[in-house]
């Protein structure tokens, strides 16, 4: 088997020595080329090269969810073709590793590498569905390039939190769960539209949902982890179905306390619910419009401000080693 290993040297939970051990373990089982990323977007470029090559059977992403997202966008730059494209394997190296954990891999890089090697020997893989965003025709964002996400996207509050965390990381802060909690509190108190939302959700053959403050789009469940604790924004979301949406129409102190507690105590059977919570399951396509520009995030990466984003759930998009 010919494989490309894409290594993020800034991965927060693996040392250089650990990465060397993992590279040797993988190289013992396959013909491996290891490339260390050197700039933002490099993993995407490497994924695209692998997709265009006839010599690569497998791409292994060693890093966090951002690295995985870049590799996936490179592999799918010309669209999904599961039977032709290289398969994907993920060695978790970030602080959260939602995608790797969602497909059932251990959160430890060494254990995950062992699980991947076992899966390759057994021929164990699954074809997963993914989310695709694009600029909405007829809006000022229509020229925004399409982009894939593996597990989650958000327009509004949660994307603002991601943006604040990225600013702190650029100043040298480590990506920790405590950092996310602090920035979430700052985003809440700085949120200008928390009482009267600006987001409208539109979908074919249904009435629009208006005045949302927060919109979380899930491609799988759990939505994220607080340490080892999973949180289920949309418990029924699945790699085998379309996209799920959780929207909140109010974010007062009382509402945040209620829905925050529900998130922390959520389970595969029940997520946030109540008067100001709105949920949709297994959507093929919908659009989020905002009266004002709002931050957009995908797989934990802040992508700037948008006023309109169209979401598509693409079933059977990519083969993943599990």
pLDDT value of residue 153 = 97
pLDDT tens digits, 208-233 = 999 999 999 999 999 888 878 899 99
pLDDT value of residue 195 = 66
How many Cβ atoms sit within 10 Å of the Cβ of residue 124? 12
DSSP label of 251: -
pLDDT value of residue 252 = 83
Residue 19 host element (H or E)? helix 16-27
Residue showing tokens 């949406």? 245
Residue 202 host element (H or E)? strand 199-202
271 by DSSP, 3-state: which?
Answer: coil
Distance from C-alpha of 76 to C-alpha of 44, rounded to nearest angstrom: 10
pLDDT value of residue 168 = 82
Distance from C-alpha of 266 to C-alpha of 306, rounded to nearest angstrom: 29
pLDDT tens digits, 107-122 = 999 999 999 999 999 9
Mean pLDDT of the chain: 93
The list of the chain residues with pLDDT below 70 reads 175, 177, 192-195
pLDDT value of residue 192 = 67
Using CB atoms within 10 Å of the CB of residue 162, give its burial: 0 to 12 exposed, 13 to 18 middle, 19+ buried.
Answer: buried
CA angle 217, 223, 228 (to 5 degrees): 165
Query: Which residues are CB-contacts of 238 (< 8 A; sequence separation ≥ 6)?
Result: 129, 220, 221
How many Cβ atoms sit within 10 Å of the Cβ of residue 40? 10
Of 186, 259, 237, 246, whose CA–CA distance to 216 is shortest?
Answer: 246
Structure token pair of residue 283: 């959507």
pTM of the model: 0.92
Q: Please list the alpha-helical segments (H only) found in 123-264.
A: 157-170, 177-190, 253-264
- Pairing label, strands 301-321, 285-298: antiparallel
pLDDT value of residue 85 = 97
Query: Which residues are CB-contacts of 99 (< 8 A; sequence separation ≥ 6)?
Result: 65, 68, 90, 150, 151, 220, 299
Tell me the CA distances in angstroms from 270 to 151, 152, 223, 262, 283, one per residue in order. 18, 18, 13, 9, 19
């Amino acid at each position: 088997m010919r494989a490309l290993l894409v290594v993020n040297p800034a991965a927060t939970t693996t040392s250089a020595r650990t990465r060397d051990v993992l590279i040797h373990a993988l190289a013992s089982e396959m013909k491996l080329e290891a490339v260390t990323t050197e700039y933002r977007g490099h993993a995407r470029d490497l994924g695209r090269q692998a997709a265009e090559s006839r010599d690569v059977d497998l791409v292994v992403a060693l890093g966090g969810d951002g690295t995985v997202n870049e590799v996936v966008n490179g592999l799918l730059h010309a669209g999904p073709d599961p039977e032709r494209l290289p398969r994907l394997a993920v060695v978790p190296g970030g602080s959260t590793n939602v995608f790797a954990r969602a497909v059932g891999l251990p959160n430890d890089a060494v254990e995950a590498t062992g699980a991947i090697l076992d899966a390759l020997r057994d021929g164990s893989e699954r074809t997963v569905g993914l989310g695709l965003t694009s600029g909405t025709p007829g809006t000022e964002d229509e020229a925004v390039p399409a982009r894939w996400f593996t597990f989650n996207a958000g327009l509004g509050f949660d994307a603002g939190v991601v943006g604040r965390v990225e600013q702190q990381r650029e100043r040298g802060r480590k990506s920790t769960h405590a950092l996310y909690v602090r920035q979430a509190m700052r985003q809440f108190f700085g949120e200008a539209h928390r009482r009267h939302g600006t987001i409208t959700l539109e979908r074919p053959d249904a009435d629009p949902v208006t005045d949302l403050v927060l919109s979380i789009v899930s491609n799988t469940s759990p939505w994220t982890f607080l340490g080892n604790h999973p949180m289920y924004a949309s418990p029924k979301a699945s790699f085998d179905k379309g996209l799920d949406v959780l929207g909140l129409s109010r974010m007062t102190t009382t509402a945040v306390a209620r829905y925050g507690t529900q998130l922390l105590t959520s389970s595969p059977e029940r997520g946030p619910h109540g008067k100001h919570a709105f949920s949709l399951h297994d959507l093929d396509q919908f659009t989020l419009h905002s009266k004002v520009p709002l931050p957009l995030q995908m797989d934990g990466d802040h992508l700037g401000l948008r006023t309109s984003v169209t979401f598509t759930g693409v079933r059977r998009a990519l083969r993943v080693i599990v």
